[in-house]
A and B are shown apart, each in its own frame.
Chain A
Amino acid sequence: MEVDKGKGEAEETRKVAEADRDTVTLKSSDGKLFEVSKEAAARLSTVLAGMIAGGSIDDNGTDLKQIGSEALENVVDYCNKHANSIPSAALISSSISFNTAPFKEPEEWERKFVDRLSHDALFDLVEAANFLGMERLLDVTCHKISEMMKGKSPDQIREVFNIKNDYTKEELEEIRQELAWAFYDD
C-alpha cells in the first residue's frame, strides 16, 4: 500500500511538472494572465515560437503590452482549441508545414469561433494576430471580414465598416468609368 501510494504521488508530481512545461503564461496589457499550450503557441504564432526558442518566456507571465485582455483571451482560446482539434489540425501543420497555405478555407469550428465575436472584438483579434504573427488566425479573421463585404454595394460596405467616403462625386464617377470593365452585373 505504502509503496503504491508513493508511486501515485510521484506520478502526480511528474504530471504537474509536465503540465508546467507544456504551457506558457501570457500577460495582457491590463495585467491579466492566460495559460496557453506551448505546442500550439509555437505552431500558430511565429512571434511566440521565436520567444519560446529564444528563452524569453517569463514563467510569471510574458508581457504582451500591445494586446488587451479580451483579445488575448480569444487568442489563447483559439490556440487551445487548435491544440484540441487534432487530428485535422495536426494534418494541416504536418502535411503542409508552412503557415500560409492558401486556399485553405476555415474549418467549421474556426468559423464559429469568429462568428461569435463583436465588431470591435473581431478587429482587436486581427490586430493581435498580426502582432503575434499568427498567419492562420489572420486568415480566419480576414476571411470573416471578407464575408462581411461579399454581395454588398460600396455604400453598404462603408456602412458596415464605418468607412468615410472621401471622394468627390466627380472622382467617384471617374473611377466608375475607369473600372467599367469590373462593373458588369453578375
Chain B
Amino acid sequence: MPPKDAAALGAPGGGGDRLGVLPDRILFRVMGHLKAWEAVRTSMLSRRWRDLWASASRLDIRQPCTCGNPIYDHDRTLEFAKFFKNLLLRRRPLGLLDSLRLCWSHKAVDGDASTWIAYAVRHGAEAIELSGEHDMWYPSPEYMSFIVAGDDLAKNRLRILKLIHVQLDDTTLTQLCSRIQAPNLVLLRCIKPLQHFPQIQKMEFLATATIVLDDELFLPDCQWLQKEDDSDVNSSDEFDLESCDNKNNESDGSSNYYDSDRCYEKYGSLISTDSGGGGMLLSLSNVKRMDLLAHPCEAYKSRVGFHPRASLFKCTNLKTVNITCCKHDVMVHTLAEFFSQNSITNDKIFVHRTACSGCTGCTSSQAKRKAQTEAEESEADQVQEGN
C-alpha cells in the first residue's frame, strides 16, 4: 500500500468520527481547500455539516469561464453562473470571508468578478486573488469593487491582493492605493496585466510585490505621468519584477533578513521599456531589496528604452539587488550602469548567471555571441568582485 494514502485508508480502530468532533473553525479550514461546490455538497454528509458551508471563511471559486472558447459550453456556463449567484445569496449574511480565490471572468448581471470582489471586501476579506489565466477574456474588475462604502473605510482589511491576467484600467490600482482603500496591503501580486501596469504608491505596509509585465499587452499610449522623453521603446520582453518594500518608518538595519546572503533564493525580474519597467521603478521609493529576473526565452533580444539617467530612480533604502539572467544576457550592463548612475554601488548588486536556456538568437551568430559573452563575463566579474 502506498504510504501516500495511509490516512485515507480510514477505518481507524476506534471507529469514531474524528472529523465531526473538531471545532467549526477547523472544518471551515478544511472546506477552504475544497472548491466552493464541493464545500456546499458537504451538507449532505450529516446534520453536523448541514449549514457549515454557508459560513465558510475561505472561498475557492476558480472555474474558468468558457466564453469565447472554441469548446464553449452554453449549458455549463449557465449552470456555473447559477451556482455563483446562489452561493452569493445563500451564504450567511454576516459571515466573515477571509479569503477569496476567484477565476471567473463571465459577464453576468449578478455574480461577475466585480460583484464577488465587492462582496468579499464588504465581508472583511484579507486576501483576494482574481485570475483570468485560463480564460479567453481578461476579467476587468472595477476599482469601486475594492472599496467599502461610506464610513466603513477602516473596515477594509485587505492585505493580500493578487491579480493575474487581469485587465487594469488606469484607475484600478491608483485609485485603490491613493484613496487609501487598501491601507493594509502587505502583498501585491500582479501577473501580466492587460493595458495598464500597476503604479505602486501610498502603500505603506507593502512588504512584497511581484509584478510580471508583458509589454505586448500594454496600450501604446500607456505612459507614466512622470515620464519625459526617451521614447525609443522597441523591446517586447516579458519581465518579472519582484521587490520588497519595507515600511516607510523602518530604520536601516531593522530588517536583518533582507541583508542576509541567502536572499537570492527569490527571483524577480528585469526592467524594460518606457511604458513598463522604467516607470515601475519610479514608484518603488522605499524598496530595500530588488530581485530582477529576465525571462529566459527573451534574454537575448535587444533591450533598449531603459536609459541610465541620474534622478530617474530614487531608492535610498535599497540594500541588495539580485539579478538572475541567462549568461548571454547583455541587459546586465545597462542595469549596472543604471544602478551606478543612481548611487547604487556595485557591492550591493549580486549577479546570478543561469545556463543559456535556448534563447532565440543565441545560435544565429556565433561570433557575435562569443564577443558578447566575453564582454559580459568581464563585467560580471567586476560586479561580483564588489561582493
Contacts and interface: CB of A to CB of B under 8 A. Distances in A.
Interface of A: 86-88, 90-91, 94-98, 100-103, 114-123, 126-127, 130, 138-139, 142-150, 154, 157-167, 172, 175-176, 179, 181-184, 186
A160 B43 CA distance: 16
B8 A148 contact: yes
Given A94-B257, A103-B162, A162-B11, 7 more contacts: A86-B262, A91-B266, A101-B127, A102-B126, A114-B7, A119-B11, A172-B44
9 contacts: A91-B266, A95-B208, A101-B187, A115-B5, A119-B9, A127-B22, A161-B20, A179-B43, A186-B37
A165 B45 contact: yes
Interface of B: 3-20, 22-23, 26, 29-34, 37-38, 40-50, 58, 76, 79, 82-83, 86-87, 98-99, 101, 126-127, 129, 159-160, 162, 186-187, 207-208, 244, 257-258, 262, 265-266
A166 B86 contact: no
A91 B7 contact: no
B17 A122 contact: no
Interface of B is mostly: mixed
Contacts of A150: 34, 38
B88 to A, nearest CB: 11
A88 B265 contact: yes
A115 B30 contact: no
A164 B15 CA distance: 11
A90 to B, nearest CB: 7
Given A91-B266, A163-B45, A172-B44, A103 B82 contact: no
B33 A146 contact: yes
A70 to B, nearest CB: 13
A182 B207 contact: no
B14 A115 contact: no
A182 B18 CA distance: 26
B60 to A, nearest CB: 9
Given A91-B265, A91-B266, A154-B45, A162 B30 contact: no
A8 B76 CA distance: 73
Given A90-B257, A102-B99, A119 B7 contact: yes
Contacts of B20: 161, 163
Contacts of A175: 43-44, 50
Contacts of B76: 184
Contacts of A176: 44
B83 A123 contact: no
B33 to A, nearest CB: 4
A103 B160 CA distance: 10
Contacts of B33: 142-143, 146-147
A161 B17 contact: yes
A-B complex: 3 closest residue pairs judged by Cβ atoms: A146-B33, A102-B99, A182-B40
A123 B18 contact: yes
Contacts of A162: 10-12, 15-18
B12 A149 contact: no
Given A96-B207, A103-B162, A118 B30 contact: no
Contacts of B83: 181-182, 184
Contact of B10 (A115, A119, A172): A119
Contacts of A158: 45-46
Given A115-B4, A142-B29, A149-B30, A103 B101 contact: yes
A120 B47 CA distance: 23
Contacts of B101: 102-103
B22 to A, nearest CB: 7
